[in-house]
Structure 1
Amino acid sequence: MPHDFDLLVIGDANPDVVLGPLTTALAFGQREQLVDTGRLTLGGSAAIMACGAARLGLRTAFAGRIGDDDAGRYVRGALDARGVDTTALRLDPDLPTPLTAVLNRRDDRAILTAAGTLAATCADDVPQALLAGCRHVHAASYFLLPKLADALPDLLRTARAAGATTSLDTNDDPSGRWAPPGFDELLAVTDILLPNAAEALALAGPGDRTPAEAAAVLAARGPLVVVKNGADGALAHDGHTLVATAGTPAEPLDTVGAGDSFDAGFVSALLAGLPLGQALDLAAACGALSTRAHGGTAAQPTWTEALAAATRNGENT
């Protein structure tokens, strides 16, 4: 039976104000500090991933919630312009659209987010017809969306019952707790878990581990675990076997959203039928190529660009 969409992405969407690089410590006391670059761009892990997948050629739909304000109109317009279906992007009449400020400093960044509609986003924002009408469901920013997080096990279970595969990128936990009730239930219905190295170590729980060891711990709880490890590439663990890629060399202008572009590449590669090692190579290429411009979506690659970069890297290793 044909599907309406290849991919449904559930989660956060907001404008990002990206500033930097900051070459000194952030100064309070009403001090004015100048930086070289400032951009207003589409943000939110889920939104950036959706745009990356659409750029790679997937028929992509988005489900979430924005405010009835200028920021929300900007978000919807940006998603529409990149080919993402926003029919299920719900308008909240009371709460504002989330807003994030990203302050870049050399190879690191600080992220400040005003949650707005994130706290109200819930299961009712995800149409059942979309869950049943797509090949894959991806959820992002688990810790920023508490009501949606509670509903995710049932939502992903419904998608899987309809034949879809599922993935999750938790992103950072602002509370620092990393062990929410029901998380094991969620992992049991998650086919692919996509943390970065720091997130994998935190999600695996107490202990002194390498990223590969953390991936093994998490894979024992159900999903294929794919860990993004920056300049060191990426690795995947299915509970039995470890696969790794050295990644694609890059001289980044801006790493905002690179992990979300990686997610888009990995899901797209698996849906295209690529084996795990090649999927890792292509995902790493998507993440690296996305850093060629400021903001999370401006330099996301096409399938042809990503495949060429992944192939070149494979030939050089």
Structure 2
Amino acid sequence: MISSSRLIARRRAIAATGAAAALALTLAACGSSSDSASMPGMDHGSKSSASSSSSASPSMADMPAMDHMASGNGLSNGQDGYRLTSKDSTLPSGKQAAYRFTVTGPDGKAVTDFAVDQTKRMHFYAIRSDLTGFQHVHPTMAADGTWTAGLSSLTPGSWRMFASFTPNTGKGTDLVLSRTVTVPGKAAKTPLPAPATSTQVDGYTVTVEGEPMAGMAHPLTVSIAKDGKPVTDLEPYLDTYAHLTAFHEGDAAFAHLHPTTKVSGDNGGPDLSFHAELPSSGNWRLFLQFQTGGRLHTAALTLRVG
């Protein structure tokens, strides 16, 4: 009888310990769920109506098909075993130039299999250290994995070359890697324009509404007008109505944002919604690209992030 009583008491103790462990795991799981909802990144949700609550979160089924958020700030030439390599450390000034580069994988070999993102397998950006001279091009790849990016005239100074891509191998993570090049000559630094809510390009007025905070997802609305009238003839460009790229003043950190508005023919605009997350405070130079009448327009604006 004594032995049996001890056995029963021992089983009850084990059961109580198991219940406590299960409760702890449940609480930990709740905490993990909360943390994952606040992970760095952009919430590419559907465009909300004016009457919708700003705190409402769309379900995955409601969200339009968008490209994945690029990983990191792009200031490194390597990430997750992938590396951006190039023999071009200088490029000529005042004329068209070709920047050649290769992406190597974790095995050290040139990657040749890339996923298509916004109709392209590679997006390439060039920006000078003072955030002038922005170029967004789509290079071509040779059979051996060597990419060639054709660039327009470059001014003297230090430039950073960004490659944004998704390898079809591994986990399929979107990556942004970069290297710097020097354009010889006397470099004259251009002061960054002061923060503003609107700018003009090619007769269009581009207005940005929103007050993003560093490291927090925040909605931005871009409105496009011409001659005082809302523009409603935006054409699809790279599977969206506008392409938005941002660079941070000082270190040229990269951020890549897209509107959540669904594309439905050549009648986009005038308002485009973004869910933006800019990781650092300070000034960011935004470059918005949109297309009308078969012509691509690039508007630049400085946004202050608190």
TM-score (norm 2): 0.25
Per residue, is there more strand in 1 or in 2? 2
TM-score (norm 1): 0.24
Per residue, is there more helix in 1 or in 2? 1
Considering only CA atoms, is the larger Rg found in Structure 1 or Structure 2? 2
